[in-house]
Amino acid sequence: VFTLRELMEAAAISSANDACVAIAEHVSGSTTGFVRLMNDRAQSLGMQDTRVVNVHGLDNTPRGKGNLSTAHDLSKVARELILGHPEALEWSSTRRKPFRNGKFTLRATNKLLGRFQGLDGLKTGYTRRAGSCLVSTATRHDMRLISVILGAPSVSARNRETRRLLTWGFNNFSRVPIVETGELMGKIVLNWGIEPEVRVLAQDTVVAVLTSDQKDQIVRHLELPEELSAPITAGDELGRLKVSLGDSLLAVVPIHAEKSIGRMGLWDKLMTYF
């Protein structure tokens, strides 16, 4: 009897297909039910060109009716896995681990572990139809990249192209801060406010991964009213910041009031005229 964690480790480290089947049956009661969950999840992630027909990924269906995906779609699920379930990197970065009370050793199928700086995952794959495949991720200089290689003719070619792609990414891209949470975005005039204006701040942090040429092409477009009427409550959303690169909208950041500002009484308002 194995724990769910042990089965996940076996699947992630050594590509244990029997562990995948056991996990599917445990979670959904059957592999068919789990395949349905996988397809539903793929659709929710926007993986429009992905079709899953089994839980182990092997070629056990007629040609043209098997598992189907793209490099772009696989990058989406890799990103979701890294951000939403970072514990998976603990498994995918493990080169070997005792199993069955030490009677067996799980050995990583990803031979780039320990041989490419910063690489800590993610998953290998191979079938005769698909060729050698590898979804990888690595971190350098506080920047994480994902690479996807599909259909390589051999494991060595798969690893060579992964090295080349990740090296190119680290050499040509960097993290560029666009806006930080709490950054002052401006001030809005307050009519009838006990203070004449309210400071407004960015609600979120935006960091983009860009080439050196793209850094100068970032456009920040601030949408704020020229004036508002008091009262204003701290945290009220008063505008937004649009961040664009060319024709692509990268982010929309809510802009909120820094603090609460009350409304003047009639007498106080009259006194402002004297």
Task: Quote the CA–CA distance of 128 and 211 in Å, as a whole number.
Answer: 37
What's the pLDDT score for residue 266? 72
Judgement on whether residues 143 and 234 belong to the same structural domain of the protein: no
Stated as kind and residue range, the H or E segment containing 195 is none
Judgement on whether residues 166 and 187 belong to the same structural domain of the protein: no
For the stretch 182-240, pLDDT in tens is: 999 999 999 989 999 999 999 999 999 999 999 999 999 999 999 999 999 999 999 99
Q: How far is CA 107 from CA 64, 95, 212, in A?
A: 32, 6, 40
Chain Cα centroid distance, residue 219: 23
Judgement on whether residues 63 and 152 belong to the same structural domain of the protein: yes
Output DSSP code: residue 261. Answer: B
What's the pLDDT score for residue 26? 95
What's the pLDDT score for residue 85? 96
Judgement on whether residues 147 and 225 belong to the same structural domain of the protein: no
pLDDT at 269 > cutoff 70: no
Judgement on whether residues 159 and 210 belong to the same structural domain of the protein: no
Contact 200/226 with Cβ under 8 angstroms? Answer: no
Helix (H, G, I), strand (E, B) or coil at 21: helix
pLDDT at 243 > cutoff 70: yes
Judgement on whether residues 91 and 106 belong to the same structural domain of the protein: yes
Judgement on whether residues 154 and 201 belong to the same structural domain of the protein: no
Task: Quote the CA–CA distance of 113 and 12 in Å, as a whole number.
Answer: 13
Choosing from 133, 155, 175, the residue where a domain stops is 175
Contact 219/208 with Cβ under 8 angstroms? Answer: no
Pick from 169, 121, 129: nearest CA to 145: 169
Judgement on whether residues 232 and 102 belong to the same structural domain of the protein: no
Judgement on whether residues 218 and 194 belong to the same structural domain of the protein: yes
For the stretch 11-67, pLDDT in tens is: 999 999 999 999 999 999 999 999 999 999 999 999 999 999 999 999 988 988 999
pLDDT at 258 > cutoff 70: yes
Contact 147/166 with Cβ under 8 angstroms? Answer: yes
CATH number, residue 208: 2.60.410.10
Judgement on whether residues 70 and 169 belong to the same structural domain of the protein: yes
Choosing from 175, 202, 231, the residue where a domain stops is 175
Residues 6+ apart with CB under 8 A from 264: 192, 193, 194, 230, 272
Task: Quote the CA–CA distance of 261 and 231 in Å, as a whole number.
Answer: 6
At 264, is the pLDDT very low, low, confident or very high (cuts 50, 70, 90)?
Answer: confident
List residues bridging with 221 in a β-sheet. Answer: 242
Residues 6+ apart with CB under 8 A from 130: 59, 150, 151
CATH number, residue 87: 3.40.710.10
At 267, is the pLDDT very low, low, confident or very high (cuts 50, 70, 90)?
Answer: low
Q: What is the domain count for the chain?
A: 2
Choosing from 149, 175, 201, the residue where a domain stops is 175
Pick from 171, 253, 164: nearest CA to 207: 253
Task: Quote the CA–CA distance of 23 and 204 in Å, as a whole number.
Answer: 38
Report residue 235 as tokens. 């945290």
For the stretch 92-113, pLDDT in tens is: 999 999 998 889 999 999 999 9
Contact 203/255 with Cβ under 8 angstroms? Answer: yes
What's the pLDDT score for residue 265? 76
Contact 119/136 with Cβ under 8 angstroms? Answer: yes
Pick from 72, 176, 163: nearest CA to 113: 163
Angle between helices 17-28 and 4-14 (to 10 degrees): 140
Q: What is the mean pLDDT of residues 165-183?
A: 97
Judgement on whether residues 137 and 110 belong to the same structural domain of the protein: yes
Judgement on whether residues 129 and 263 belong to the same structural domain of the protein: no
Q: Which domain holds residue 217?
A: 180-272
* Dihedral sign of CA atoms 110, 94, 115, 70 in order: positive
Amino acid at residue number 50: T
